[in-house]
Chain A
Amino acid sequence: MSKSAKQKEELSFEESLKRLEGIVETLEEGNAPLEESIKLYEEGMTLAKSCMTRLNEAKLKLKKIQKSAGGALEETDIDN
């Protein structure tokens, strides 16, 4: 569980949505056995929840690219 939770954290928003769509498609095909369907459903709900959380709670992150003294490019936060 902790491993799959970690995997979900790493998914981008787009990947989460795509995975959710994929789960719905698999469920729609209806070939998966019940056990697997329930697991997919659980995963889908977790994804949906994380998408919703991201959508509702996210605040735009703003960064700026600057050249450091050494000439390397770095990102620094700016207040939104």
Chain B
Amino acid sequence: MEENPDLFSNRAASVNEDRVLKVRDLTRLVKGVLEESFPSVVVEGEISNFKRHMPSGHLYFTLKDEEAQVRCVMWRSDAAKVRFEVSDGMKVIVKGRVSLYEPRGDFQLYAVDLVPAGQGALQLAFEQLKKKLEDEGLFDEERKREIPEFPSRIGVVTSLEGAAVRDIISIISRRFPAVEVVIYPVKVQGDGAAEEIARAIRDFNKLSTVDVLIVGRGGGSLEDLWAFNEEVVARSIFDSAIPVISAVGHQVDYTIADFVADVRAATPSAAAELIVPDRQEVVAGVQSEVRTMGRLIEQKIYGLTLELDKLSHHYALQQPSSLVDQKSQLADELTRRLETETQHYVDVTGQKLIAVDSHLNALNPSAVLKRGYAFVESSTGIISSVRDVEAGDSATIHLHDGTLESQITGKSERSA
């Protein structure tokens, strides 16, 4: 305030007492001094004589405290930005400039912004930071990181004392305990809380040992939650390479952290719910995959059986031994493997794989013989060509239920 009389006297120096001023000259001079001296002030006081002038929409009121008062005007364009209902007796903080209303000679405060005192100051800070960060693109949807579907390590930035950490732990261990939860204990309110939270987020990024972060705390007053409205926290979330879920307060609380985070959870419990899947659902999913695999492998074997049948029609008589050997070996192999796998399946889900015996039976060589095929053996081994025997040789014919001893009485070779 000290420089103002100086300013006045400097200006007044050109106006000496010998010169008689007109009233309007005086008011204009004073107005100039006021405008130059108080281009922007923030004043706290109580509203009285509040009037919204119609149809102009300008606001007129007096701002007062115990010892003084000042008349205020707020033009319609500024008044439109006031988000709450103004009324007499309300304690407010007014931002504006000082000037003089010449027709009455009153000095006035020309208000450009009006917020409720107390909580209002925080509210104002909140709105200002929100707008700033929003303009910078910190809230853009395009830059949100994706939350992993099955995180294996979950970082939690919160206080060890609050209900939040207990809720998060109990919900994760109930829903999906196959994870590790790494807690970084921080102050979540009071001096230095915002810096601690921001540092924890940065440290987690340095360590790079978790897949996702929950940053939050339980419910509280606007002041209690304030750390999550601080720019340093917002920037650390924005800079994090690890996806961040914000989990601050109750359902209704929105913080700056919520806007920057990749996902906003309404509460710490909600964050825990959405960060891990439900174990029962995952179990059902795995069981369904196992059933599908069982069905597909069965189909595969069945398809192969049909193919082998076709093959045996074509070649069984010409090449009984090798075909039977191959089929026998394959059937054994499949039986062994599927028995093992069926056991796995029983172990895993407690359910039985649909029997594959019938399909495997079809692969068994004896099943081929049952359909009327035979193979013929001589003293030198399986006969697979007419060239293997001469007339007069004896041969054993294998059928599905026994053997026939026989003698070759003649042969003719089919031209290829």
- Which residues of A line the B interface, CB within 8 A? 12-14, 17, 20-21, 23-24, 27-28, 30, 34, 37-38, 41-42, 44-46, 48-49, 51-52, 54-55, 58-65, 73, 75, 78, 80
Contacts and interface: CB of A to CB of B under 8 A. Distances in A.
Contact of B293 (A17, A34, A45): A45
A55 B282 contact: yes
Interface in B61-102: none
A73 B206 contact: yes
Contacts of A13: 150, 152, 178
B292 interface: yes
Determine chain B's interface SS by DSSP, over half rule.
Answer: helix
B279 interface: yes
B164 to A, nearest CB: 15
A54 B289 contact: no
B337 A38 contact: yes
A42 to B, nearest CB: 6
A60 B293 contact: no
Determine chain A's interface SS by DSSP, over half rule.
Answer: helix
Nearest to A78: B183
Contacts of B289: 20-21, 24, 44, 48
B349 interface: yes
Contacts of B386: none
Nearest to B348: A49
Interface residues of B, number: 49
A46 B341 CA distance: 9
A37 B297 contact: yes
A65 B182 contact: yes
B177 A17 contact: no
Contact of A52 (B152, B160, B169, B349): B349
Contacts of B181: 60-63
A33 B282 CA distance: 30
Minimum-distance CB pairs A-B, first 6: A14-B150, A58-B178, A60-B173, A27-B296, A61-B180, A60-B177
A66 B304 CA distance: 61
A35 B207 CA distance: 44
A64 B183 contact: yes
Given A12-B150, A13-B178, A14-B148, A30 B300 contact: yes
Nearest to B338: A38
Contacts of B349: 48, 52
